[in-house]
Structure 1
Amino acid sequence: MSTSGFQYTKLRWFLTIAGMVLYATDIWTDIVLTVTFYQEDHHLWAGLTLGSIVLGLLVSQIFSYAWFWDDMNDFVINPKGKETIAGLSKCGLITLHTLGLGVFIRYYQLLKKGFAVLWTTGHFHTEEERRAKHQKLFCMATDLSMLKMFETFLESAPQLLLQVYIVLVGHRKISVLRYLSMAFSFTSIAWSLVDYRRCLRRSLPHISEMPSGLPTFVYLLYKLCTITSLILSYSLYLILSAYTTVALSIVWLLMTIWTNILQTNFCSSRVLEALYRLVVGVILTFTFFNVKGDNTKVAMGIYYSTCTLLNVASPILLALLMPQFNENTILVVDILILGGIFLGLFCLVMYYMRLHPSTKLPDTDEVDGMSKENNSVRRMRTFLQP
């Protein structure tokens, strides 16, 4: 890996601030949407929206606290056995995570240590020291990105499915701003995967980083198109029958069972591992995600073949069984579904055939202080997407 490529830049530090603001804004707008639904007497929608907010926050706080606890008990990270981490005691961590502030603690720590590395420490004594400091920042950024991704798929994805359903059945008047907001939500979900992938590959010293520019754009387009088409298809099935919710629950259960069959080894305890597999099941309901770092050509092929069948069948079934729906609106959705899945699959093939970086770097020097794998690095290695 080149020296210039393994740097936590000042631009990324400023983007971290922007990410924190967007994260807080997203939570606030979700709360406002819940209140709006309640005031309009749509109590079911309000309950579903509130439930997704609570679920996303709860799971992200549990994992955030568990990772702080693991790091506190890790001899490599905490060789002196200090009773504090991130400047907080165990009681302090419990209190702040109970208040839902775990992600903000991580934002604060990343910004604080990033500022110290980028602006106040001056020149490093050795190249190994510089690489170690920057790798630590990328490890922190990866933990943060992973938590945000969990919350995105537990909170934003289900909410977006509900919003699309509401638009299609015509229960609310939708403005241009609402359509733009939904488009932004689709992009945010896809970008959460891209950002996590980029952080992860940069945090592992023996893994080549994901190139910026065209490769990142093609990968983003692949995720954006496939996720958009699948969520739109789910919404059409919801219009056809409310029992689609049962079918989606079965899909989630099957994805969770598959994750169990793979015997993931991501968490330090069985209880957390079980929760982790449940969360991965939710992610797999909306997009393919490699959780073992193994060759997944067959699994990916089966997954997207099934998605293609679902996407092609949904507009056909709606046209045959419920022709009374607004033709113009459904036509646009049909175009987005079919165009999205085929463009997404094209970008998928293009990325992995031409733009995907090699998995490992040959003859990479080991960073001093990283010869013993700590919990943070092990966590990322066992969550690698090749």
Structure 2
Amino acid sequence: MPWSPRAVLLRDLVLGILGTLAFLIDLGADLWAASQYVLSGRYLWAALVLALLGLASVALQLFSWIWLRSDVSSPLAPKPPGRHLALLHLLQLGYLYRCVQGLQQGLLVWRQEVPSEFDVAYADFLSLDISMLRLFETFLETTPQLTLVLAIILQSGSAEYYQWVSICTSFVGISWALLDYHRALRTCLPAKPLLGVGASVIYFLWNLLLLWPRVLVVALFSALFPRYVALHFLGLWLVFLFWVWLQGTDFMPGPHSEWLYRATVATILYFSWFNVAEGHTRGRATIHLVFLLNDSLLLVVAWATQSAWLPSGRLLQSLLPAAGVCFLLGLALRLAYYCWLHPSRRWEPDQVDGTWGLRSLEERQLPQNRRMAHLAKNFFPKPRDEAVLPWKGEVNGVL
């Protein structure tokens, strides 16, 4: 049964509140873990936690500020960013400001009996940017933090209570970001099949089940060879950066800022799949999966042939087989999702998600969030009947 307009608005507002709380809780857990490392005299671990937090925060502020500057010409941008916004980004509060702004706009729309065209469009515009920034934060900070905590546990052979809190909050943050990003992409399409609970659960599970084994083997390599993990990351990161460059991405407003995006995508690809270009998605995803699988197997072989024995050796004997089962299950769910549940860019005006569905066809002519709309075209395939009829592409200016 389709959601009512008021229910859709309330759902999006609640999701926005939960997403902001998840970010704050995860940030608090990381700062708490860093303080505990300092109190216990483990200064290097504390420095690594804070370094990951700092690098990810700087990247998020850069993305946010560049987008604010480039959106000045958009009808959805109320006014150019002022000095107070520049100061907030300099103080590393730009992303949090966007979250608060999105919640305020969502509350404004929800309180209107008949939401105005501009307010609804602006709420969508803000929520899409927040979802993208949340995804970047997940792979620039949360996932590396999770890898670091697991490496510390594997190296020490024991886990403290604050480390378990960090692990739990990291998994919640990663799961939330992946599902929220998928939901955000769907709102960029003028119409699409409804995102049911079953499809949401399967999409969430296959991402998490494939990500967990990768995080574990990287953490294992970090625990065994802490001096070489940076070289391993840098080597693969350069390969992925070159691959992203070959695909000719066009996400950011300028050529220099585009390299920031490519560097971020290369970091995501180190852990998980992320599509950046249209066409032959299945082939690229398969190449990436095989490449990451081979690299993970090599990392496991390095552990198996290592003469030194970690204190958590017995724990690894159960974790690694469990990781293999998770990988196979995640792969099966991924195939099932893309075979039967992944929607196409078909025009079905009666089946829409999000606040986009509250508007008429004429109102949908408002400018969209160009960045996320571009990614949605890469993420969702064209219907087969459109793909085989060249005249449709010619009419739409594709060919």
TM-score under structure 2 normalisation? 0.83
Report the equivalent of 1:94.
86
Q: Are the structure 2 counterparts of residues 23 and 188 from structure 1 closer, same or farther at C-alpha, using a change threshold of 3 Å?
A: closer
Q: Are the structure 2 counterparts of residues 323 and 37 from structure 1 closer, same or farther at C-alpha, using a change threshold of 3 Å?
A: closer
Offset from partner CA, 1:45-102 (integer Å, 9 cap, x none) = 222111111111111111112222222232x335xxx7x35xxx51111011111221
Alignment of 1:295-374 (within 5 A): 295-322=280-307, 324-325=309-310, 326-362=312-348, 367-368=361-362, 370-371=364-365, 373=367
Is 1:227 the counterpart of 2:221? The answer is no
- Return the alpha-carbon distance in structure 2 between the equivalents of residues 187 and 123 of structure 1: 35
- Return the alpha-carbon distance in structure 2 between the equivalents of residues 113 and 13 of structure 1: 9
* CA RMSD between the two structures: 2.6
Task: Find the residue that maps to 1:299 and give its secondary structure.
Answer: helix
Of 123, 134, 140, which residue of structure 2 is paired with 1:137? Answer: 123
Percent identity (aligned): 25
- Return the alpha-carbon distance in structure 1 between the equivalents of residues 374 and 34 of structure 2: 36
Report the equivalent of 2:113.
122
- Return the alpha-carbon distance in structure 2 between the equivalents of residues 207 and 11 of structure 1: 19
Report the equivalent of 2:202.
218
Q: 1:219 touches 1:348 (CA, 8 Å); kept in 2?
A: yes
- Return the alpha-carbon distance in structure 2 between the equivalents of residues 134 and 371 of structure 1: 13
Report the equivalent of 2:51.
51
Report the equivalent of 1:38.
38
Query: How many pairs were matched up?
Result: 367
Is 1:253 the counterpart of 2:238? The answer is yes
Q: 1:53 touches 1:155 (CA, 8 Å); kept in 2?
A: yes
State the 1:183 CA deviation: 4.1
Q: Can you give the 5+ residue segments of structure 2 that lack an aligned partner in the other structure?
A: 351-358, 381-399
Task: Find the residue that maps to 2:305 and give its secondary structure.
Answer: helix
Q: 1:61 touches 1:103 (CA, 8 Å); kept in 2?
A: yes
- Return the alpha-carbon distance in structure 1 between the equivalents of residues 295 and 165 of structure 2: 26
State the 1:134 CA deviation: 3.6
Report the equivalent of 1:189.
174
Q: Are the structure 2 counterparts of residues 209 and 134 from structure 1 closer, same or farther at C-alpha, using a change threshold of 3 Å?
A: farther
Q: Can you give the 5+ residue segments of structure 1 that lack an aligned partner in the other structure?
A: none
- Return the alpha-carbon distance in structure 1 between the equivalents of residues 105 and 62 of structure 2: 23
Offset from partner CA, 1:315-352 (integer Å, 9 cap, x none) = 44423324734442011221232112111111110100
After superposing the two structures, state which structure 1 stretch, 176-185 or 52-61, moved more.
Answer: 176-185
Of 152, 156, 178, which residue of structure 1 is paired with 2:138? Answer: 152
- Return the alpha-carbon distance in structure 2 between the equivalents of residues 302 and 7 of structure 1: 41
Q: 2:34 touches 2:50 (CA, 8 Å); kept in 1?
A: yes
Offset from partner CA, 1:119-151 (integer Å, 9 cap, x none) = 2x2135xxxx66x64443233111101111111
Offset from partner CA, 1:231-271 (integer Å, 9 cap, x none) = 11112222343323201111111111111111111111122
State the 1:224 CA deviation: 0.4
Of 155, 172, 189, which residue of structure 2 is paired with 1:169? Answer: 155
State the 1:198 CA deviation: 0.5
TM-score under structure 1 normalisation? 0.86
